[in-house]
Amino acid sequence: MAITIKDVAKLANTSTATVSKVMNNSYSISEATTERVKKAMEELNYHPNATARKFAKQATRTIIFLSEISKNSGYANPQLFEIMSGLENVLSKKGYTLIVKSISSSETAGYIENAIESKVCDGFVIHASVISRELDELIFRKEIPHIVIGTPNFVNHLCWIDIDNRFAGEIAATHLFKKGYQHIAFIGGTEEDNISNHRLQGVQRVFEQHELIFDNLLLRRGSSDTDSGYSSAKELLSSGRLDSIICANNYIAYGCMLALKEENVNVPNEVGVITFDDYPFSKILKPQLTVVGIDVFDVGEQAGKYILQKIRKPNTYMQSYITVPELIERKSTDKTK
Amino acid sequence: MAITIKDVAKLANTSTATVSKVMNNSYSISEATTERVKKAMEELNYHPNATARKFAKQATRTIIFLSEISKNSGYANPQLFEIMSGLENVLSKKGYTLIVKSISSSETAGYIENAIESKVCDGFVIHASVISRELDELIFRKEIPHIVIGTPNFVNHLCWIDIDNRFAGEIAATHLFKKGYQHIAFIGGTEEDNISNHRLQGVQRVFEQHELIFDNLLLRRGSSDTDSGYSSAKELLSSGRLDSIICANNYIAYGCMLALKEENVNVPNEVGVITFDDYPFSKILKPQLTVVGIDVFDVGEQAGKYILQKIRKPNTYMQSYITVPELIERKSTDKTK
DNA sequence: AAAATGTGAGAAAACAGTTACCTAATTTAA
DNA sequence: TTAAATTAGGTAACTGTTTTCTCACATTTT
């Protein structure tokens, strides 16, 4: 049998109430009694039962992180885990526990409803890829403490945190102009890919600011992979006058670099290349890629801070929060004017 | 106030014991009563309190995954998350919950002792990087259900699961021989890096089998990164006769490929390149890398199965379990004889 | 010296389930 | 027909901690 609070109370010659009060250092307990109790706990090597505590306190101090994780997620989606790390980091510091649960968007609402009713956790951090209309409604109706990571497509009530991808696009374009590039191309993912869309919008906004027009002949949309980056770059090179390429992500950028090398185009002097997200990748290419870096660990941390705040003060209101990207200058745009 | 088992019992006109029995479908309860109870649960939208259940049952159905995760882990250590995904996958299926906790090796023993005494979880999956001698002793003394992922350096009592890196080395060397390569070089990480050591041992074993001697002039040890791969490859090229290189990991391989390209060495015809672990990376290089692939998701799954088994039947004994690597043939060794 | 105030600590009632044990009713076996 | 066995379902104890309420006693104020 495990040692319980009763054993401690008996040894310390007090009541369980007093022992509990000492543990929670709430209420006024005299110095002497406190010492006696602590000594007894020490002597018996007492560890309070965590489940019983949660039960009595009616609070779980637990957050559930929901996203779809399956074979290859670790490789394909390193940002997801970077976010999770940031989240764990702040929760841990505040004595909270992180449960990780893989789920598909069709199951999310059901799972969350059950988990909150069953008091499994105090709140949820939900990856945008697993939200649903049903969830939006549920969360509103039951006032469930939550935060979505990423921009949900149809948001009425969900609150979320994301990267400012438009601003990231602005940073990229501004940097190229500053470096003296003038004919900027853009290679993005599919038309449905909002990340690409927002990054492109940011680029276009900079053109407007400079009272220039973004040349749509220098815009390519494909899929978000290396092959697409490769073929888009080849097309661009053969078709038009350009001196720089903004790639919507690392994979595209890599394909693009391969094409440029094949065509013997010098990077950064003939064509500058810039992309987004600082994958390990971008540091090891030759030349190293200039990147608009996004601190996704920080996104996880912010999400953690927010959900804790929401639990402590349920009337806290926030619909969205945006983290700020930052330029990481490397060789691929280091043009000697 | 939340709906409890009492409310259900009252509505169904039975005792709480009966409701509980229906929920756990244990004991004999008549069809009619079962129906009545289920209808009542439905009607009240009853969700049993998870904490109270755990408390009454004295079992947590929870596993804690311990490793060191910090900023950049998601990028630098995708395998870690691949393992976590596999683990979550099997635990989830069996109704278990996965808690993720970042920790450093100096804290592990203390944390585990407290968690097990406090009945926070039923068992632990521990990454080899956070074990300690103290932990080994603790786990033995208290018979703590656990499994270590990776080979611990000093193991007396810990049980662990790992990849058969020696066998992976054998696969690599065998493949090269089969393809007609004869002068095989090896680029590894530091002398302390056991993964490199084991892979090299496997390679050497194949040489022995063929009654050949591995030429130590074609062995290079450095760090495990791209730069090291690059400089080692350059050295090898200038110094000796070789027709193939085994790189201990993807980063080294990439550096190696850069060096080969710079020296205008044709891959795979002049020099074949093979490495380990199937990072996304290896598919997008030109030429694509042949790789001894290791299914780390499977490692996570195996670990999950083992820990569940251990909890169900504590007298299950296993000291180590090894997963089998597999050759993924791509262009970088596709020599036309 | 009496009244008001403050402080330390215990008794007991939560918290919401599970389950060992018991009884009554029904079925089966002899 | 009776004894034994089986089945259905209720009673109440139990899981380990927290917390409200109360009271005794000590201290301060009037």
Q: pLDDT, tens digit, for every residue of B155-173?
A: 788 999 999 999 999 999 9
| 3-state secondary structure at position A140 | helix
**Per-residue pLDDT tens for B64-95?**
999 999 999 999 899 999 999 999 999 999 99
Residue A19 makes CB contacts below 8 A (sequence gap 6+) with A5, A8, A9, A12, A37, A40, A41
Q: How far apart are CA B256 and CA B251, in angstroms?
A: 9
Of A133-142, A148-157, B239-248, the poorest mean pLDDT is in: A148-157
Proportion of chain A above pLDDT 70, given as a percent: 99
DSSP per position, A175-225: HHHHTT--SEEEEES-TT-HHHHHHHHHHHHHHHHTT----GGGEEE--SS
**Per-residue pLDDT tens for A285-308?**
888 999 999 999 999 999 999 999
Q: Counting Cβ atoms within 10 Å, is residue B172 exposed (0-12), middle (13-18) or buried (19+)?
A: buried
**pLDDT at residue A134, rounded to an integer:** 94
Rounded-to-5 percentages of helix, strand, coil across chain A = 50, 15, 35
CA-based Rg of chain A, rounded to a whole angstrom?
27
Q: How far apart are CA B91 and CA B85, in angstroms?
A: 10
Whether the CB-CB separation of B127 and B289 falls below 8 Å is answered with: no
Chain A CB contacts of B101 below 8 Å: 88, 92, 97-98
> From edge to edge, which strands make up the β-sheet containing B326-328?
B219-221, B184-188, B244-247, B272-276, B290-293, B326-328
CA of B321 to C1' of C4 (A): 74
- Residues in chain B, overall count: 337
**pLDDT at residue A143, rounded to an integer:** 92
Residue B322 makes CB contacts below 8 A (sequence gap 6+) with B161, B162, B163, B164, B167
Q: How far apart are CA B19 and CA B22, in angstroms?
A: 5
**pLDDT at residue B320, rounded to an integer:** 80
Dihedral pair phi/psi, residue B147, rounded to 5°: -150, 140
Asked if the model's pLDDT at residue B330 lies above 90, the reply is yes
**Residue among A308, A296, A294 at smallest CA distance from A98:** A308
Closest chain A C-alpha to B171 CA, distance in angstroms: 23
Q: How far apart are CA A209 and CA A217, in angstroms?
A: 20
Dihedral pair phi/psi, residue A252, rounded to 5°: -60, -45
**pLDDT at residue B153, rounded to an integer:** 80
**Per-residue pLDDT tens for B193-235?**
889 999 999 999 999 999 999 999 999 999 998 899 999 999 9
3-state secondary structure chain B: CCCCHHHHHHHHCCCHHHHHHHHCCCCCCCHHHHHHHHHHHHHHCCCCCHHHHHHHHCCCCEEEEEECCCCCHHHHCHHHHHHHHHHHHHHHHCCCEEEEEECCHHHHHHHHHHHHHCCCCCEEEEEHHHCCHHHHHHHHHHCCCEEEECCCCCCCCCCEEEECHHHHHHHHHHHHHHCCCCCEEEEECCCCCHHHHHHHHHHHHHHHHCCCCCCHHHEEECCCCHHHHHHHHHHHHHHCCCCEEEECCHHHHHHHHHHHHHCCCCCCCCCEEEEECCCHHHHHCCCCCEEEECCHHHHHHHHHHHHHHHHHCCCCCCCEEEECCEEECCHHHCCCC
A9, closest nucleotide (Cα–C1')? C10
Asked if the model's pLDDT at residue A210 lies above 80, the reply is yes
**pLDDT at residue B93, rounded to an integer:** 96
Answer yes or no: is B48 CB < 7 A from strand C: yes
Chain A CB contacts of B97 below 8 Å: 99, 101
Measure CA A68 to chain center. 14
Residue B64's DSSP bridge partners are B99, B124
Residue A318 makes CB contacts below 8 A (sequence gap 6+) with A159, A306
CA of B18 to C1' of D4 (A): 26
**Per-residue pLDDT tens for B267-282?**
999 999 999 999 887 8
Q: How many CB atoms lie within 10 A of CB B48?
A: 20
Whether the CB-CB separation of A196 and A247 falls below 8 Å is answered with: no
- Locate the chain A residue with the closest alpha carbon to B253: A284
Whether the CB-CB separation of A208 and A173 falls below 8 Å is answered with: no
CB within 8 Å: B74 and A73: no
Q: How far apart are CA B328 and CA B312, in angstroms?
A: 37
Query: In degrees, to the nearest 5, what angle opens at C-alpha A118 toward C-alphas A87 and A131?
Result: 50
| Average pLDDT of chain B to the nearest whole number | 93
| 3-state secondary structure at position A88 | helix
Whether the CB-CB separation of B311 and B95 falls below 8 Å is answered with: no
CA of A227 to C1' of D18 (A): 61
Is residue B25 very low, low, confident or very high in pLDDT (cuts 50, 70, 90)?
A: confident
Residue with tokens 């585990």: B112
**Per-residue pLDDT tens for A12-63?**
999 999 999 999 877 778 888 899 999 999 999 999 999 999 999 998 999 9
Answer yes or no: is A28 CB < 7 A from strand C: yes
Residue B107 makes CB contacts below 8 A (sequence gap 6+) with none
Amino acid in position B221: R
Is residue B284 very low, low, confident or very high in pLDDT (cuts 50, 70, 90)?
A: confident
Asked if the model's pLDDT at residue B175 lies above 80, the reply is yes
Answer yes or no: is B17 CB < 7 A from strand C: yes
Closest Cβ opposite residue A48 in set B70, B73, B118? B118
- Read off the tokens for A22: 């000492």
Listed as ranges, the nucleotides of chain D within 7 A of a protein C-beta are: 7-12, 14-20
Half-sphere exposure of residue B203, counting CA atoms within 13 Å on the CB side? 31
Asked if the model's pLDDT at residue A190 lies above 90, the reply is yes
Half-sphere exposure of residue A273, counting CA atoms within 13 Å on the CB side? 30
B27, closest nucleotide (Cα–C1')? D8
Proportion of chain B above pLDDT 90, given as a percent: 80
Proportion of chain A above pLDDT 90, given as a percent: 79
**Per-residue pLDDT tens for A220-247?**
999 998 899 999 999 999 987 899 999 9
CB within 8 Å: B70 and A50: no
Is residue B182 very low, low, confident or very high in pLDDT (cuts 50, 70, 90)?
A: very high
Q: What is the mean pLDDT of residues A180-196?
A: 94
Q: Which residues touch strand D (CB under 7 A)?
A: A 1-2, 4-6, 16-17, 19-21, 23-24, 26-27, 47-49, 52-53, 55-57; B 13-18, 27-30, 32-33, 55-56, 58
Q: How far apart are CA B256 and CA B48, in angstroms?
A: 59
Is residue B337 very low, low, confident or very high in pLDDT (cuts 50, 70, 90)?
A: low
A29, closest nucleotide (Cα–C1')? C8
Q: Counting Cβ atoms within 10 Å, is residue A182 exposed (0-12), middle (13-18) or buried (19+)?
A: exposed
**pLDDT at residue B185, rounded to an integer:** 97
Q: What is the mean pLDDT of residues A252-257?
A: 93
Beta strands B320-323 and B326-328: pairing type? unpaired
Of A26-30, A126-130, B11-15, B81-85, the poorest mean pLDDT is in: A26-30
Closest chain A C-alpha to B48 CA, distance in angstroms: 6
Is residue A337 very low, low, confident or very high in pLDDT (cuts 50, 70, 90)?
A: low
